[in-house]
Chains A and B, each alone.
Chain A
Amino acid sequence: MSGLIIEPPREGPDPAVTPNLHRASEQWGAGRAQARERVDWEAWRERAREIRADAVRHLPELIELLEARMVAAGGHVHHARDGEEACAHIVAICRQAGATLAVKGKSMTSEEIGLGAALAHAGIEAVETDLGEYVVQALGSRPSHLLAPAVHLSAAQVAELFARESGREFDPDDTAALVRYARDALRGRFLTAGVGITGVNLAVAETGTLAIVESEGNIRLSTALPRVHIALMGIEKVIRDWEGAAHLVQMLPLAAHGKMAAASTSFITGPARDGDDGPQEVHLVLLDGGRSAIRGTPFEEALHCIRCGACLYACPVYRQVGGHGYGSTYSGPIGAVITPLLAGDGTGDEAGDATGDGLRGSSLPAYSSLCGACVEACPVKIPLDDQLVMLRARAHRGDPARGEAALFAAWARLWSRPSTYRATAATAGRALRPLWSALARDGWQRHAPFPFSGWTEGRDARAPDPEPFHVRWRRRRGDA
């Protein structure tokens, strides 16, 4: 199940998800307005950006420090170059623990590496304990948003699933009853699982501490009851120290929901000590998976992401297409940026996907009108729109024979000289006029010629004016 890229992105809107996404987006918008009233938002963003920039700039030394401190606290650290290695580490730890049942917290990184399939293959049952993930897993689907995995599903679908599972009836409008069912169904799993597997929001290098935020309490249970805790983390999520941690653990819920704090924030430093009843073993699996290759490139700021999901809620394209529509584990603006970066070698010299079928993610940067809403929403100020433009250029490199490239080359030649620019205007006005004006009404028409024919599939097209402005100016003013 899953992996970084699953399928080519969809070409049109997904009407099935739009009502839910609209509601989620509206709620997020209200939360954002609240956040802006609560704190000096721009100052907080700049501070958050600094903290993340410092961490990514010093990534290798901070990872080293994180490991040293975590081991000193009695934890174990495993390095994984790619998803396959990460899965292998996790399976080995589960096997060594003699565990056949794992309880799992929400982790997009685990989706990226296809952990569910790897565990199943190894005979280890991994139960998703986040309510949205639980439903998604039971339906054989996959999460469609960083924080709200079931945002694409309706209450009716959830009620129907629970009815099938339990043999009881559920009223889709009795949300509390649905939640109670999930709580009861999962309770026994928490109590018997040998391993708890979670993601990590931030790791504090100074003390080897893992910080995990949540709303439901499933992370606390997964990191309290099983004997072994496995934490999977992309290497870019390390930060230097506790000043940074204090700021970012507030920034995350603020950007995500407009709230001052998450319902629960856990700070885990090694296994349970001093008579505490938590796990006897804590393992951190550090995933590179193409991340370190992005450092030192013009795309480095994409590694600052704290996975808050704000850019998804802000994006007008995500709003139409939905998370699954991107065909990749990471959707929305950040997904359109990091998917091709993680799928390629990250250096920018890669030719990218010449076929444009999206299987290396290189068509994802097209999924943006470059409106800039994501940049404004981002709590760490990643210049996502500029990065999308750069990625579009990267996708074309090494594939100059493409029709579009030839068109733009010709366009540049013609429009970089005033005389040929004016000549194309005159030609379009004259030669195309018969074509354009055959069915034109008031200067608008229903069929545009190549290369603009796509325009008139849904819209009328404005015909070129027979007398462009530059001609009118000359006529009225001479060459002034």
Chain B
Amino acid sequence: MPEYPLDEFRARLEELDGSLHEAPSLTAARATAADLIGAATVARWRDDILDGIVTREQQAPAVEAEISLIVADVGVAATGAVGFVHRAGRPRSAGLLPPTQVVLLDAADLVADVASAFEHVGLRNGAGPLPGNVVFAAGPSRTSDIEQRSIRGVHAPRDLAVVIFSR
């Protein structure tokens, strides 16, 4: 995988107060995610990639969980965003309600720019229908509504950690 997009992705994500963790393999990525999560309660998406990171006892409904554990369909180097397509086993609520988010991203899904990212997740011209909901999250949620002071963590996650791995 070319170095440059990863460097740019890291720079953009960190600028937005997100964090990037690099793992040489999926196994290592799972271990990193487990470290980040510790003993916290987790709402996770159903995906093979996310297996073996947290115990059954840790899992909690999205409304109660401290951490959401999800997989990204794409990463965008130019903006530091991760994109995900919501479908069965990938409920929106699980990716939204918990205040901390850990995202696993396959390095093969890291693309250079927004146009490529759209293509990658099926947002394109021509006969649809497209997926019902695709979200790009660039760093944690924030607001500057009170005297222009920038505060992280409003309704969407306050902390966003991306664990990027190569298969």
Chain A interfacial positions (CB closer than 8 Å to B): 20, 23-24, 27, 69, 72-74, 129-132, 135, 148-151, 153-155, 158, 175-176, 178-180, 182-183, 186-187, 190-191, 206-209, 215-218, 220-221, 223-225, 241-243, 245-246, 249-250, 259-278
Contacts and interface: CB of A to CB of B under 8 A. Distances in A.
B132 A263 contact: no
Best-buried of A130, A149, A153, A263 by chain B (most CB within 10 Å): A263
Contact of B78 (A180, A245, A260, A268): A260
Interface in B131-160: 131-149, 151, 153-157
B128 A155 contact: no
B148 A27 contact: yes
B129 A269 contact: yes
Given A241-B125, A261-B138, A191 B133 contact: no
B156 A221 contact: yes
B141 A215 contact: yes
A318 B126 CA distance: 43
B137 A131 contact: no
B148 A263 contact: no
Contacts of A178: 146
A241 B128 CA distance: 13
A268 B129 CA distance: 11
Nearest to B89: A275
Given A182-B154, A218-B155, A268 B133 contact: yes
A158 B136 CA distance: 30
Contact of B136 (A132, A179, A242, A265): A265
Nearest to A73: B129
Best-buried of A20, A155, A176 by chain B (most CB within 10 Å): A176
What are the nearest 10 A-B pairs in CB distance? Answer: A217-B156, A275-B88, A217-B155, A132-B145, A261-B79, A216-B154, A224-B92, A261-B138, A277-B91, A217-B141
B96 interface: yes
A16 B136 CA distance: 38
B114 A273 contact: no
B92 A274 contact: no
Given A217-B157, A245-B118, A246-B115, A276 B88 contact: yes
Contacts of B136: 261, 264-265, 267
Given A268-B132, A275-B87, A278-B86, 18 more contacts: A27-B144, A74-B129, A131-B154, A183-B154, A186-B155, A206-B125, A209-B123, A215-B143, A221-B156, A260-B138, A261-B79, A261-B80, A263-B142, A265-B81, A265-B135, A272-B86, A274-B131, A278-B133
Contacts of B135: 220, 264-267
Nearest to A148: B145
B12 interface: yes
Interface of B: 12, 16, 63, 76, 78-81, 86-93, 96, 113-115, 118, 123-126, 128-149, 151, 153-157
Contact of A216 (B76, B113, B115, B155): B155
A463 B149 CA distance: 49
B125 A274 contact: no
A250 B116 CA distance: 13
B132 A274 contact: yes
Contact of A179 (B90, B91, B132, B154): B154
Nearest to A271: B132
B148 to A, nearest CB: 5
Given A263-B138, A272-B132, A274-B87, A129 B124 contact: no
A131 B152 CA distance: 13
Contacts of B148: 20, 23-24, 27, 148, 151
B155 A225 contact: no
Contacts of B81: 261, 265
B141 A216 contact: yes
Contacts of A208: 128-129
Given A272-B133, A278-B132, A149 B145 contact: yes
Contact of A154 (B87, B118, B147): B147
Contacts of B143: 131-132, 179, 215-216
Contacts of B125: 206-207, 241-243
Contacts of B118: 242, 245-246
A264 B130 contact: no
15 contacts: A150-B146, A151-B148, A175-B146, A175-B147, A179-B151, A207-B128, A216-B142, A220-B92, A220-B155, A221-B96, A243-B125, A246-B115, A270-B132, A276-B131, A277-B91
Best-buried of A176, A249, A264, A265 by chain B (most CB within 10 Å): A264
B154 A269 contact: no
Contacts of B141: 215-217, 263-264
Contacts of B113: 246
B28 to A, nearest CB: 28
A126 B95 CA distance: 25
A217 B154 contact: yes
B151 A246 contact: no
A267 B154 contact: no
Contacts of B140: 263
A370 B130 CA distance: 45
Nearest to B139: A263
B146 A179 contact: yes
A243 B132 contact: no
A69 B125 CA distance: 11
A269 B125 CA distance: 13
Contacts of A175: 146-147, 149, 151
A267 B156 contact: no
